[in-house]
Amino acid sequence: FREEENTLRELRIFLRQICAKLARNKQFYMFSKPVDVEEVPDYLSVIKEPMDLETMMTKIDHHKYTCAQDFLNDIDLMCANALEYNPDRNPADKQIRHRACYLQDTAYALIKAEMDSDFEDNCRKIRDDR
């Protein structure tokens, strides 16, 4: 199982690079840390499972992701949360929804461009066998 641990270590290194790149983008700053309930008091009454890039970086370090799709599932959650919490037609909501979709597409494109599909297939086999 040494090979499996080597594969998962390589996955974590790769996902940290993706996560850091997304968190560096100023357009995604509202996704970079958990929503501050002081600033947005009703957030947790609307969004049952919050997600953000800092939390995702911690999940990488805690070995919570065994394949890229698990990571992308949290990206999808973060995006869905933003669309749910910002449904109105006003410019502020529209901009946050646009940024959420842009973040999601960027994450998928980065992973698809830089990840070998055989590597991801191997990771999913490790996940499914566990």
Ligand X SMILES: CC(=O)c1csc(NC(=O)C2C[NH2+]C2)n1
| Contacting residues for 122 by C-beta, under 8 A, at least 6 apart | 7
Among 22, 51, 82, 111, binds ligand X (CB under 6 A): 82
Point out which span in 8-16, 78-86, 110-118, 121-129 binds ligand X (CB under 6 A): 78-86
Applying CB under 6 A, which part among 20-28, 67-75, 85-93, 119-127 lies near ligand X? 85-93
Q: How many helices, marked H, and strands, marked E, lie in the chain?
A: 6, 0
Phi-psi category of 63—alpha, beta or left, where left has phi over 0 and alpha has psi -120 to 50?
A: left
User: Is 23 a residue that touches ligand X (CB under 6 A)?
Assistant: no
Site for ligand X, rule CB under 6 A: 30-31, 35, 40, 82, 85-86, 92-93, 96
